[in-house]
Structure 1
Amino acid sequence: MNQNTIVLKMFLTVFTLALPLVIAAQQLDPVLQDLIHKGLNKNHQIQSNRIDAEQAQIDQQLAKSVFLPKITFNGSFVRLDDDITFDDDTQTLLIATQKLVIKDAFGLPFNSPFPDNIPLEDVPNLQNKNILKSSVDLDWVLFSGFEASNALKASKHKESSLKYVGLAERDKVALQIIEAYDKLALVQASKKVLITSEKYLNEQIFYVHKAIENGLTTPLSRKKLELAQQQLAAKQLEFDHNNIMLIELLHQLTGESKANLKLLEPELQAFANTDAASTEKRNEVKALEEAEKATRYQAKMAKSNFIPKVAVKGHYEFIEDDLSLLDPKWFIGAGIKWNVFDGNQSRLKSKKASLESERYRDQIEDVEEMIALSITKAELKYQSALQNTKIVEKEIELANDTYEMVDKQYRNNLASINDVLDALNDVEKANFKLQESYFNERRAVAEMLHAKGVLTY
């Protein structure tokens, strides 16, 4: 067996052992898992969904706070242009009444003159012109007509919907990173094939030079090999560019430094058969279902506007001196508010929310149909990839045997250099097709797991 054949067989052995390793569907490469987690922490849309969910939590707290008493401290100072007093006739009447009361207290006759030595009190002002007030108010809703409770339930379902939207977005980001990582593995595997092809070409160039020196072939064979080298260099440049673009993409998706990404050496590994994987409800469906429930409670909240509301009101004045004669120092009371007709606003808002709920129901049915179709599509794609892998493995075996045969014929002057190059090219293409087949298998499995709602990372 010549050196060419030994090198080819060693390469194919290493290539075969490194790639078709079968792992469980959810056992991702630890490096890939780390990149996914970094990507999830970096993604702006996921962070935006998290903030929206936190805002929904605050809405729940606002709904609960309706039933908490509201206590307000007040302070003010007002100066009027003058004191507010009784008119002259009223003041005269009050003074006369005061005199009658005093005379009655001393036992003086009704029509007797009023003694000069008894002082009279001035009639107090209704309100002094300098008014300093300090008070506290209490407002306490006892019953909101179910408006607050419906708002609370609507906010809870809205929060759940936003969380499921975030989980669905996480799945999309994970799939993007897995695909980019697999493409990087495919590029690097293809680069290895090209490097090996370059070694073969260099060996062929060596033999051609020897053949030219011995007059066994023409310089035209050397030019053909030089052309093959240029074509190989073009392919290497293409793969280098693809490698750079994939590193840029992974950097953008994960935030990982480009220097670290350049050190990655991913390998394509075929996933195990996932036909028996259970199917769970997708996060997209759960998000729509929670949004539908939220709109239902919004409709109920609008209708509850016509239910009577009950509240308690309290007030206490800390400073009595500047109160008017008509102002109480404190009071407490309960009241009821009953909205009988609001110009159809509540009814229209409830109708609008009900229509929104119907729209979500239609979306749920549409998404479920699309998911069922995507599961079937992914399963068929996976089956095709498996079958294609079997075909490519036969192609590799045939290409290997063909190359060995043509190489022997060439060394015995029974085949041309073109035949050798064609056979070598077939070996290269067959091995690369195997990597593409593994790549397609992984894509199909990832899409199937995502479609079934059981993708983990």
Structure 2
Amino acid sequence: MNRNNTSIKFLLIALLVIAPSITVAQELDPVLKDLIHKGLEKNHKVNTNRLDSEQAKVDQQMAKSVFLPKITFNGSYARLNDDITFDDATQTLLIETQKLIIKDAVGIPFNSPFPDNIPLQDAPNLQDKNILKTSVDLDWVLFSGLEASNALKASKHKETSLNFVGMAEKDKVALQIIEAYDKLALVKASKKVLTNTENYLNEQAIYVKKAVENGLATPISRKKIELAQQQLEAKKLEFNHNNILLIEVLHQLTGETKANLSRLNPQLESFSIVSHSNTEKRNEVKALEEAEKATRYQAKMEKSNFIPKVAVKGHYEFIEDDLSLLDPKWFIGVGVQWRVFDGNASRLKSKKTALESLKYQEKINEAQEMINLSIIKAELTYEASQQNTYIVQKEIELANDTYEMVNKQYKNNLASVTELLDALNDVEKANFKLQESYFNERRAVADLLHAKGILTY
């Protein structure tokens, strides 16, 4: 192997591997952004949360509808076993009263017998046995004792809380897709490293074969090269399996076709963020705060059970003939309901809800403490990964120089083939470590942005 060609190849590999570390990545890959948006549309938890939010909106509409008048149309038919009439004594009294009125009207003396030629009317039934009714009822709440207004405010805060929960869930989905995408990039980069190693082994195999033929090396050296090639094939198979698995993961997360995912060629690049980036309140905390507000209004709603409620009640009968003598054709009125004691049920419910509000406050404090800890952890991890990237780049330089030196010694019979393969293995490991360092660096940045509540996608 020509030494100058070997040096040029190692220089190209070093530039290829180290170049991404110079790139400052402030924005996500557009392909990755598209996958995240598809994943958010597909994710079942995100869609379920959206439906929960829609239900909260319906609860608000229900709270408002309390003050809308309720109009009900009724219709019924009933048949009694007989007409409901006055008793005999009352009927006799009504007939005799009718006779006195007629006598007075026609000028017949009070003590004179009643003429037979003047017809009398029978006493009407109190209720005919055939009853057909059609009517309309009006129920209209004018004042709910603040119960409906507090329920409306509680449901509004509940909706806002669910929206923040949905946003927090979207962040989790985005992080999962980013990690899977970066793992796929790591596999692709690792495959390039293996391909370069394969090229070196093939060149060494050709050299060793000629050396054996010329008596400059033993067959054992050739077998060691062949063993290294087989080990390399095993590594290639492992990374192919990882590639297939990651495509399956991305397909499950995003719904994108496997054919399109298999054509992706993501690149690992060093991420860079401004160290003094602002910290925003996390969606998880916002969701807990809104849930705490919702429980407070729920407690007020339960307390308002003792405030008087005012409502209008109306009724109108369309068929008058089948009404009893005591039934009105229509009526309208205003009523007041005032519950002064309910066995402490409302007070205890309100107390229980107030305790629930205190629980949310504890959860908020706990979440904030965990977030502060995660920010510090992510910052330290990011700093360590950056330092590790710098160290690995130095390791690559050293491994390349060592390989060149051992390769030269081997060709001059000053080093064994085992030493040569060990030096090549060090080059391979160093390149792997650099890609892994980029991966860890990007993970730390994503975690830091998420912890600070400024992750965008």
Which amino acid in 1 is paired with 2:224?
Answer: K
Taking the TM superposition and a 5 Å limit, the aligned residue runs for 1:154-169 are 154-169=154-169
Q: Distance in 2 between matches of 1:428 and 1:273?
A: 29
Cα-to-partner distance string for 1:132-168 (whole Å, 9 max, x where unaligned): 1110000000000001111111111111111111110
Q: Distance in 2 between matches of 1:273 and 1:51?
A: 36
Q: Contact between 2:20 and 2:270, CA under 8 Å: does it hold in 1?
A: no
The alpha-carbon deviation at position 376 of structure 1 amounts to 0.3
Residue 55 (structure 1) aligns with: 55
Residue 19 (structure 2) aligns with: 17
Q: Contact between 1:300 and 1:350, CA under 8 Å: does it hold in 2?
A: yes
Which amino acid in 2 is paired with 1:9?
Answer: L
Q: Distance in 1 between matches of 2:310 and 2:151?
A: 17
Residue 223 (structure 1) aligns with: 223
Which segments of 5 or more consecutive residues in structure 1 lack a partner in the other structure?
Answer: none
Q: Distance in 2 between matches of 1:367 and 1:273?
A: 24
Q: Contact between 1:392 and 1:430, CA under 8 Å: does it hold in 2?
A: yes
Residue 116 (structure 2) aligns with: 116
SS in 1 for 2:353: helix
The alpha-carbon deviation at position 19 of structure 1 amounts to 5.6
Q: Residues 260 and 19 from structure 1, CA distance in 2 versus in 1: closer, same or farther, beyond 3 angstroms?
A: farther
Please identify runs of 4+ aligned residues in structure 1 that moved more than 6 A.
Answer: none
Taking the TM superposition and a 5 Å limit, the aligned residue runs for 1:208-357 are 208-357=208-357
Which amino acid in 2 is paired with 1:356?
Answer: E
Residue 177 (structure 1) aligns with: 177
The alpha-carbon deviation at position 284 of structure 1 amounts to 0.3
SS in 2 for 1:78: strand
The alpha-carbon deviation at position 233 of structure 1 amounts to 1.1
Residue 374 (structure 1) aligns with: 374
Q: Distance in 1 between matches of 2:4 and 2:233?
A: 26
Cα-to-partner distance string for 1:174-229 (whole Å, 9 max, x where unaligned): 00000000001001101100011001000001000111111111111001111111
Which amino acid in 1 is paired with 2:455?
Answer: L
Q: Distance in 2 between matches of 1:16 and 1:394?
A: 10
Q: Contact between 1:395 and 1:430, CA under 8 Å: does it hold in 2?
A: yes
Using the size of structure 1 for normalisation, the TM-score is 0.98
Q: Distance in 1 between matches of 2:178 and 2:57?
A: 33
Q: Contact between 1:274 and 1:445, CA under 8 Å: does it hold in 2?
A: no
The alpha-carbon deviation at position 20 of structure 1 amounts to 4.3
Q: Distance in 2 between matches of 1:304 and 1:106?
A: 67
Cα-to-partner distance string for 1:333-382 (whole Å, 9 max, x where unaligned): 00000111111111111011011101100000000000000000000000
Q: Distance in 2 between matches of 1:241 and 1:446?
A: 26
Q: Distance in 2 between matches of 1:109 and 1:399?
A: 143
SS in 1 for 2:67: coil
Residue 427 (structure 1) aligns with: 427
Residue 82 (structure 1) aligns with: 82
Residue 147 (structure 1) aligns with: 147
Residue 4 (structure 1) aligns with: 6
Which amino acid in 1 is paired with 2:103?
Answer: K
SS in 2 for 1:454: coil
Aligned-residue RMSD, C-alpha: 1.1
Taking the TM superposition and a 5 Å limit, the aligned residue runs for 1:171-210 are 171-210=171-210
Using the size of structure 2 for normalisation, the TM-score is 0.98
Which segments of 5 or more consecutive residues in structure 2 lack a partner in the other structure?
Answer: none
Q: Distance in 1 between matches of 2:160 and 2:273?
A: 33
Q: Distance in 1 between matches of 2:341 and 2:371?
A: 46
My pick for the range that moved more, 317-326 or 424-433, is 424-433
Q: Distance in 2 between matches of 1:276 and 1:76?
A: 76
Which amino acid in 2 is paired with 1:351?
Answer: K
The question of 1:37 aligning with 2:37 is answered yes
My pick for the range that moved more, 118-127 or 362-371, is 118-127
Which amino acid in 2 is paired with 1:423?
Answer: A
SS in 2 for 1:2: helix
